[in-house]
Amino acid sequence: MIARNLVVALAAGALFAGPTLANHHVSAKESANDKIRRAISAAPLMIAEKATVLDMDGSVLRQGSNGWTCYPGVPLIPGSKDPMCNDSVWQAWIKASARGESFKTDVLGFSYMLQGDGLVNNDNPAATDKNKGTWIKEGPHLMVLLPKSALGSIPTTPAVGGPYVMWGDSGMFHLMVPVADRPAGALVIHKH
């Protein structure tokens, strides 16, 4: 319950603190400044303005000083234009996920995606068949890594509204905390 209350309080602050970026779908020949602008739109300015910005290939676009790392897209998804900003715990999760390894933590980790996310399967991170499982295109949200024991009775479906667990049966599980409405038609549920 304490973890849930903490997440709700943090999400409420994120709702009003993040910069907006009306159209983050840009051409393949975008400049480093365009990538940086999109990357830092993922988090509140108080975090993003001093964050390191990495390109999708891991090269440094801008060195930061506050321990946060922002990307112009999700680095695990080729071609992603959905920016994210991660603390050091989430950076470790990204690295483990890229290697196909499970991830465990005893501390909280935070990642902002205030521009929303692409369509993903909520049940299985490797799923590609959009006719199976629960698919979601989440709007602006905060993601939280925490010990699995802290998840308690948090729902595992985005259909209930509010915080929910994504990829709960995998080593990549995390808590999703929507901070604004989803795009119209964003939730697609299919039975297995």
Q: 70-111, pLDDT tens digit by residue?
A: 999 999 888 999 999 999 999 999 999 989 888 999 999 999
- What pLDDT is attached to residue 186? 82
- What pLDDT is attached to residue 52? 98
Give, in degrees to the nearest 5, the angle at Cα 1 between 10 and 150: 90
User: For the whole model, what pTM was predicted?
Assistant: 0.84
- What pLDDT is attached to residue 105? 94
- What pLDDT is attached to residue 24? 41
- What pLDDT is attached to residue 126? 86
- What pLDDT is attached to residue 28? 55
- What pLDDT is attached to residue 8? 37
- What pLDDT is attached to residue 188? 76
Print burial letters for 2-33: b (CB count within 10 Å at least 16), e (below 16).
ebbeebeebbeebbebbeeeeebeeeeeeeee
Distance between CA atoms of residues 12 and 63, nearest Å: 29
- What pLDDT is attached to residue 18? 42
- What pLDDT is attached to residue 12? 36
Write out residues in the chain with pLDDT < 50, as ranges.
1-27
Q: Is residue 124 within 8 Å of 133, Cβ to Cβ?
A: yes
Pull the structure tokens for residue 126. 């490797």
- What pLDDT is attached to residue 21? 44
